[in-house]
Structure 1
Amino acid sequence: MLFKRKQRMADYPDKEKSEIVDEYSSEMSENLLKEWKKVNRKKTIKNWIITLIVLLGVFGGYKSLFSSEKTVVPTEVTDATFVKQYAENYYSYPTSEQSKKYIDKFTINNDESISYSQDVEYVSISNVQIYDVKVLATNSYRYYATASMHTKVKDTDEVTKEICFSIDYIKEGKKYFVVKPVKFVSSSIRSIDEENKSKYKFEPDSSNEQMTDKEKEDVKQTIDLFLKTYNDDYQQAKLLTSGKSVIDKLDPNTKLTLDAIQSTSKDDDTYYITTKVVEEYSDVITMKRSYYFEVSRDKNKITKMEVY
């Protein structure tokens, strides 16, 4: 091709040669422009594709975030809400048509009915608090709750007392069905029996060796100084202990005062002391509490403090 063009150039006079050169230059420029446009178009399309992919990813992320936010509702919250609403409608008197429809909707046995004495003007409950739940079987639960029951009898003032009750229900997906009548239960169900209570009761340590009168006086002064420092300066009080985990920072409105030493004992390393300490809060509340201390004999520092 190049040879042919050179041959053509040789066949023309100089003036015509110049015109041919211009023609070829123009042709080359057009070809270069076409190639540049083609490359630029490919680059533009590539950039658009990348931008589209990024936008789709961002959109998908936001969609996933929003959809997950909509579903983040703890099961315990929805269960507790149902128990509360059911109990409030169940113990409502006079019974409104709305309450009756609610109970009928969520109760399998609709034969149950509640009647009140003719002298009762109204009954309602408030402050429903769930304190225990038992799994009876698959999707079957028993909720234990307390509530304040407000009763007004004719010619008397309203009476409020705490009640304890249980509700048995089946849950299928987001649907609830109460399968047994609501029952009053003893408030003792809420408490731990005496045998189990003893497992959690704090017992101060002690030793068989008794402290001398001077040791008792020294320990009393140590504890007294520590409490006074603790009231005023937490950082300084920490220096009187074996480590920062021994005490927490006091509320600025709280003041501790040693009232009495109750018992003392010792071993080779430690003094064991039980005391009574007066806690005052903002000159409004005063409480006398039992405090237990352990004091290291070699460094004379508080190694343990417990309120019990």
Structure 2
Amino acid sequence: MKLSIVSTLYRSTPFLEEFHGRVSGAAREIAGDDYEIILVNDGSPDHSLQMALQLQGNDSHLQIVDLSRNFGHHAAIVAGLENTRGDHVFLLDCDLEEQPEWLAMFVDKMRESKADVVYGVQQERVASPVSNLLGEAFWTSLNFMSNVRIPHNPMTCRLMTRQYVDSLMSIGDRVLYLAGVFAWAGFTQEPLALKKTPRPNTHKSTYSLSKKLLQVADSFSSFSVAPLSLIFSTGLLIWLGSLIYGLFLLIQKLINPEIVLSGFTSVMLSLWFLGGTIILFLGILGLYVAKIFNEVKRRPLYLVRNVYKGNQNDQPS
């Protein structure tokens, strides 16, 4: 098969019919009739699954993967990628912020650069100024603390070769942060600067503040031990600082025995020393606990309820 297109469904009813029509047209222009569209229902609470099944009745190219519950956007993407068969895989969101017609631009960029991956980056962010500032601070901090260079402001949409996708699926991370995994996998990757279409005010993002904060935590825990190293370094600095300060007070006392050290000074010195020592030891233990934590969680990323293929929407596999 020449081309696979993957997208996820979560509260996607307002966009799905238009998305399907536009992405089908874009696929036919590139691959003729040799393509598949894979939609992953990520436990959507609306009628996204039912609408997708209706569309599938008239489109044998459409395949639907129905997850047993909401496992999150990144896990749903992996579920879609694992079901692809195409020589090239185009991934994008279905909310029409990312245009299906961009597929032709991705194909041209891949042919020109001979890259394994062409990924979209936001030419300019369409969120509020505060959100833009926090987003830039997040990407800067993540790259500062990680040994993997992750592009700023990446978009979901990307065109990937079969070899890259197969290699990506061999990664066994349980705490999954796809932007980091995409970059960590290596291969030749080329950015394509694009501008998202702002979502209408009536259609709010499904990424709530709590989900965004969880994603930030996942990103740092998956691709950086820098926070733990920072704890270790902080404890070491406080511990060394207390020793140096203690030596300074001792030298002062030896030079000038008449100096009377206040009780407050000695208490604070003891607190700094003990506090720094505790943080130092916790930091050392944390470095090992982080490794163990990332290895022992072996639950699957997602569970599949049904896979609907072609016109067999009444016969789940």
Pick the TM interval, shorter chain: under 0.3
Is the helix fraction higher in 1 or 2? 2
Larger Rg: 1
Query: Larger relative contact order (C-alpha < 8 A, sep ≥ 6)?
Result: 2
TM-score under structure 1 normalisation?
0.18
TM-score under structure 2 normalisation?
0.17
Is the strand fraction higher in 1 or 2? 1
